[in-house]
Amino acid sequence: MTDTPMIAVRSVNKWFGAFHVLKDVDLVVQRGQKVVVCGPSGSGKSTLIRCINRLEEHDEGEIIVDGIRLDESLEHIAAIRREVGMVFQQFNLFPHLTVLENCVLAQVRARKTPRADAEARAMQYLARVRIPEQASKYPGQLSGGQQQRVAIARSLCMEPKVMLFDEPTSALDPEMIKEVLDVMTDLAQSGMTMICVTHEMGFARKVADLMVFMDHGRVVESSPPAEFFAAPRSDRTRQFLDQILSH
């Protein structure tokens, strides 16, 4: 099992109505690998990672997560979701629950963890994202950066093997981006397998093992960061990098 890739996406195609969002996408993520996916908006990068935990359904091709094939089977979907955590651009914390309850809910309901254990684990991860003191507050009382860190802790409480990040810093004020990236960097260094859709190229250089550039639903380039930033093979990648690195 340990030799098989953590995630294997093979010739995946997806349409939104008549719009072809993903075109023959291939992506293999090894255990412990950190992949950063970038590309212009509408290029399909969010859709790709949303397919990995079945928030979107792919129409063709195959996705295999930790040896489990993602198909119609509800058991397979449930099994995959147990292994895959996700962090969203808009945090998507549950506004009616406290920070602690946000972290406890799924542990108790989906994992049947006893409440005391679930709370202890929640506090442990809240400490890890450096906001244990906010546990009794509601999400609406926190800043964007704090909310996103809670969202990361909430996901980690389920002890996933893979974390998916869907533009985790795009909705944040500039001064809060760093605190979230710091947490993500820590996580990367702890050996978590990660796929991050982000335009934070500083973060990408620091943690990525593999850079993936997507455009118009295709993977245009996928290479190690050193190569990706220094000598991109495709003109489209170079053009994109010039745009976002120019300022």
Partner 1 sequence: MMTQSRPEEGRAPPLRARGAFFGWLDIVLLAAALVVCGYFVWRTNVQLHYRWNWSVIWPWVARFEDKEGFVAGPILVGLAVTLRLAVWGILLATMIGVVMGFARTSRRLFFRLVASGYVMLIRNIPPLVFVFVFVFFITSQVLPALGVSERVKAWSPATQWVVEALFGPVARLENFLVGLICLAVFTGAYVTEIVRAGLQSVPRAQIEAGESLGLSAFDVRRYVVFPQALKNVVPALSNQFIQMIKDSSLVSLVSVQELAFMAQDIQTSTRRVFEVLLFVGALYFIICWSLSLLFARLEHRNQS
Which chain residues interact with partner 1 by CB under 8 A?
A: 53-55, 78, 81-82, 84-86, 88, 90, 92-96, 105-106, 109-111, 140-141, 154-155, 158
Q: Which two tokens stand for residue 142?
A: 């926190």
Angle between helices 144-156 and 99-110 (to 10 degrees): 20
Cβ contacts of 219-225, under 8 Å, gap ≥ 24: 219/25, 219/26, 219/27, 220/39, 222/27, 225/36
CA-nearest of 187, 232, 192 to 212 is: 232
Give the DSSP H/E element, type plus range, for residue 11.
strand 7-16
Which among 1, 22, 151, 13 is positioned nearest to 65, based on CA atoms? 1
Q: Rounded to the nearest whole angstrom, what is the least distance from the CB of residue 15 to partner 1 in the complex?
A: 19
Q: How far is the CB of 72 from partner 1 (least distance, A)?
A: 14
Task: Please identify, using beta-carbon distances, which residue of 17 and 140 lies nearer to partner 1.
Answer: 140
Q: How far is the CB of 84 from partner 1 (least distance, A)?
A: 7
For partner 1, give the closer residue by CB, 88 or 213.
Answer: 88
Identify which of residues 107 and 237 has a Cβ nearer to partner 1 in the complex.
107
* Residue 53 or 198 having the CB closest to partner 1: 53
Q: How far is the CB of 227 from partner 1 (least distance, A)?
A: 32
Rounded to a whole number of angstroms, the minimum distance from the CB of residue 48 to partner 1 is 15
Pick the closer one to partner 1 by CB: 110 or 226: 110
- Cβ distance to partner 1 smaller for residue 106 or 219: 106
Q: Tell me whether residue 143 is exposed, middle or buried, using C-beta atoms within 10 angstroms of its C-beta: 0 to 12, 13 to 18, 19 or more.
A: middle
- DSSP class per residue in 171-195: TS-HHHHHHHHHHHHHHHHTT-EEE
Our CB check for partner 1 shows the closer of 84 and 180 to be 84
CB of 212 to partner 1, least distance (A): 21
Return the ∠ at Cα 3 (arms to 53 and 26), rounded to 5°.
45
Find all residues with CB under 8 Å of 62, minimum gap 6, and list them.
8, 9, 10, 11, 12, 69, 70
Closest Cα to residue 99, out of 158, 168, 151, 171? 151
State the nearest-atom distance from the C-beta of 22 to partner 1, in Å: 18
